[in-house]
Amino acid sequence: MGMVATKSMLEALLMPLPIAVLLICAGLLAKRYGRGSVASALVALGAVIGLAATLGPVADGALLPLETRYAAVLDAAKLPSVPRYIAVLGAGYTPREGLPVTAALDAVAVVRLAEGLRLYRQLPGSVLILSGGPVGTYPPSANGYEQAAMQLGVPIDSLIVLDTPVDTGEEIRALHDRIGTAAVLLVTSAVHMPRAMAYCARMGVHAIPAPTGQLARSSSLSNVANWLPSGTHLRMTESATHEYLGLLALRIGLQ
């Protein structure tokens, strides 16, 4: 099994819902062997974790520390040091016959590319760096970005395509190899920005954070609907969990 596949499997097992299911299964197994008190505790813990992950206040509470670490760039032309480069980190891309490239890019990718294009329009003469390698049998997300950017009017000589990196660390390394220490506006999801910036600091990339796709809301406690279980909230909790695991791996030297 390759490193990418191993990482993906471990990450999947460490998500809230699989952990909840494993705890409940362990509790049922303990009950079968006569460990009633242990069984009740495991089942209850699994149920609490599974339910909590689907609640808005939990999802927002997990996301907010990550998403608010860096402010959005509203007007790139007013930055103290105006960079020439704008880098958009990769996301999902699953092209299918009969669909436009905007449908082949997933929602995260569309938001990241849209923010990159917005900043590109604010900085005449800038260069858009599109990143993201292949995932499984799908082609590189950078190729999808490139198609979309060109169809939206960006000339090919204003594009740099990095279509081999398969994770954040490789993307930042490829970015450093291409532009060195030149200043670059780094575009990625707000929840992903702390980890991306940690890689930039480690690899000597002079990145100016330009987070986008903010999902968390600080007022979720007062909204009764946010206390109802929701698949949307579960995905938000999973996104935050993914980033906390990535930051932990960086800190202990696993990446």
**String of b and e for 20-37 (b: at least 16 CB within 10 Å)?**
beebbebbeebbeeeeee
Tokens of 39: 């069984």
Distance CA 226, CA 160 (A): 42
Residue ranges in the chain modelled with pLDDT below 50: 1
The pTM assigned to this predicted structure is 0.91
Q: What is the 3 state secondary structure string of 55-113?
A: CHHHHHHHHHHHHCCCCCCCCHHHCCCCCCEEEECCCCECCCCCCCHHHHECHHHHHHH
Distance CA 189, CA 168 (A): 12
Phi, psi torsion values for 162, nearest 5 degrees: -110, 95
Distance CA 131, CA 92 (A): 11
What is the DSSP secondary structure assignment for residue 138, as one 8-state letter? B
**Domain ranges for the chain:** 3-66+228-251, 73-212
In the prediction, which pLDDT does 185 show? 98
Question: Could you tell me the CATH superfamily of domain 73-212?
Answer: HUPs (3.40.50.620)
In the prediction, which pLDDT does 198 show? 97
User: Comparing C-alpha atoms, which of 124, 145, 37 is closest to residue 76?
Assistant: 124
